[in-house]
Copies of this chain bind each other. A is one copy, B any other.
Amino acid sequence: MPLVVTGTIGIDTVHTPAASRERILGGSAVYFAAAASHFGPVRLVAAAGDDLPQAFRDTIAHFKSIDSKGLEIRQGSKTFAWGGKYHENMVQRETIFTHLGVLEERPPAVPAAYADSEFVFLGNTHPAVQNSFLASFPKRKLVVADTMDLWINIAKPELLTLLKNVDGLALNNDEAELLTGKKNPVTAARHILAMGPRFVIVKKGEHGCILVHKDGIASLPAYPTENVVDPTGAGDSFAGGVMGSLAATSAANQGKTDAGSFDQVRKALVFGTVTASYTVESFSLDSLKAIHRSDIDQRYNEYAAMVRV
């Protein structure tokens, strides 16, 4: 059940109250793919400039389950670069700089070999671009998109079109309110269901997430880690864990079960939660690189004990 992610690769500069890192590997598709790779193969579609450090390519290559044929290195272009600074609480952050670079150009090309992708995660970008990717995946069975406040503000019609073409939408609680005008996350998510998707994942950062699915509601706290080093990439890693585990379960079931069912998505959210808890314990992909699937399973069990009712 091939899984593909479209999104960004970036050169991040991150300042936290405790430490700083300059020019480290980041980007939505990269965090997603690194997280998803712990569950099975994942195809990476993203564009970089020719300034992408070789060390970044080596790091990606370390994740054997990432297929990076879809990582397009564009000559004469610059890689997307982002700099941010986290506040004392490690939740709020401010952007120090954004160099869009290659993101201002055409979207990355999707390799023909990816046409049989069945699980598709459309990382955050202009919704018209997200929508255009769908044509490259005619065998798609489960499509989930991420979005952000920028697109809700400047490209709402295109976002509404996209929502008719996806199974699920992931967004944070502020974005859910911005999109619907409803403050209550469950109410907001119900309104989004009426726009097309069959499930909405409302991400609440260190407070966990709420799943509002046409067949039910689930609520999950975050894994209460004490060791938050850098929250960058947590949401993308969460999505990677969700989609990676959904694709792996579907593969194990030979596609006999509905990967977008309430029960499957709920279970996948736990894998996403646990995987993201590792991401925040280091800068960049350091933790995701250091762990194995057995670490995820062990923390899954710890988490299950913590939230047991």
29 A-B contact pairs sorted by A residue (CB < 8 Å): A89-B183, A90-B183, A184-B228, A185-B224, A186-B224, A186-B225, A187-B226, A204-B207, A207-B208, A207-B221, A208-B219, A210-B221, A216-B306, A217-B306, A218-B306, A219-B222, A219-B223, A219-B224, A219-B306, A219-B307, A220-B307, A220-B309, A221-B221, A266-B308, A267-B309, A303-B309, A307-B307, A307-B309, A308-B309
Inter-chain contacts of A267 with B (CB < 8 A):
309
Closest Cβ of chain B to A274, distance in Å, is 10
- Is residue A88 within 8 Å, beta carbon to beta carbon, of the partner chain? yes
Inter-chain contacts of A201 with B (CB < 8 A):
none
Q: Which of A184-216 contact B (CB under 8 A)?
A: 184-187, 190, 204, 207-208, 210, 216
Q: Which of A212-270 contact B (CB under 8 A)?
A: 216-226, 228, 266-267, 270
Report the count of interface residues on A (CB-CB < 8 A): 35
Closest Cβ of chain B to A172, distance in Å, is 13
Closest Cβ of chain B to A288, distance in Å, is 21
- Is residue A61 within 8 Å, beta carbon to beta carbon, of the partner chain? no
- Is residue A150 within 8 Å, beta carbon to beta carbon, of the partner chain? no
Assuming the A-B contacts A184-B226, A208-B207, are A220 and B221 also in contact, with contact meaning beta carbons closer than 8 angstroms in the complex? yes
Q: Is the CB of A270 within 8 A of B204?
A: no
